[in-house]
Amino acid sequence: MDFGSRIRAARRAAGLSQEELARRAGMSLKGMGDIERGIIPDPHFSSLSKIAKGLGISIGELLEDPSSPKAPAPTSSTNPPSSSAATEAGQQSVEVAPPSAKEVDPRIKELMESPSFSAAKEKIEGWHFGSDAVESFIEHRVKVYEEELEDPHSPHFRTATAAALWAETLQREANMLARLGLEEVRPYLKDISRMSIEERGWAAVVALKHIGKRRSAFKDLLMRADERIMAMRDQPDAVAQKRLEKAQQGAEENQRQIKEELQELLPA
């Protein structure tokens, strides 16, 4: 992906100077300029998220190839984009298997076996969250982090302090992805009060599944990073350790907030 060219084109289309976009994004002018000029060819998700916010667009719109066809945004959770339209735009479908009848309450089992439940399942599974552009970017970032983590000579792991700062960046990226998951499902849940009880149940399942997918994208990397740091001969300095702990605490707080916001979107 040529992030610099896309950001420059989006900025000019919005009628913003580089300095104004940097201000809106909460970034330094030098950092913004380095990304646009390709000096920083592979910016973090956190930087792109800030830039998208400064432009007043979604991260998906910023990452999307301008030549790619786009599906219409959902106007109602009870009438999401058609499966064909979403597929043409490269959006990701949600497939969720129902829980085993042995694992649920008899009353829920009866509901699961009803025709209305099957109809609701088919309808809600037609929802599509995110886009190919976002999925590809996340896969790319996972690959980049994996290469850095597995490289025995990585500059990020020369010292435990450097490694802790690297892990802090990874944790913050993970926190932002979890938040992205919530924002991707939000448009589909805005009219949930108009749904049947069966549709509400499936809406909760697919929403939680998608948010969990986003939140767990870097989970394995974080665990492996912790293991590598613990195996190092030195220890992170106090500042780096504190920053990492703060990011980890932020993950817990972020998860709590997302849960609360999702509960508001999914009334009982």
Question: Which pTM was predicted?
Answer: 0.71
For residue 230, being part of any structural domain is answered with yes
CA distance 42 to 172: 17
Domain limits at 194? 83-265
Report how far residue 84's alpha carbon sits from residue 165's, in angstroms, rounded to the nearest whole number.
44
Q: Mention every residue, 6+ apart, whose C-beta is less than 8 A from residue 191.
A: 76, 77, 78
Tokens read off for 198: 């069966």
Nearest to 50 by CA among 136, 172, 171: 172
Same domain, 40 and 92: no
Percent of the chain with pLDDT over 90: 38
Based on the domain organization, do 9 and 93 belong to the same domain? no
Is 119 found in the same domain as 29? no
Q: Where are the beta strands (DSSP E) in the chain?
A: 92-93, 128-129
Residues 42 and 128 in one domain: no
40 burial (CB, 10 Å; 0-12 / 13-18 / 19+) is middle
Question: Which amino acid would we find at residue 148?
Answer: E
Tell me the C-alpha distance between 87 and 40, whole Å: 32
pLDDT along the chain (268 residues), means of 10: 88 94 95 94 89 92 67 47 39 47 52 71 80 88 93 93 92 89 88 82 85 89 93 90 90 89 78
**One domain for residues 149 and 25:** no
Q: Report pLDDT digits (tens) over 181-205.
A: 988 988 888 888 888 888 888 888 8
Whole-number pLDDT of residue 66: 59
- Is 165 a domain residue? yes
pLDDT value of residue 104: 47
Number of structural domains in the chain: 2
Residues 220 and 147 reside in one and the same domain: yes
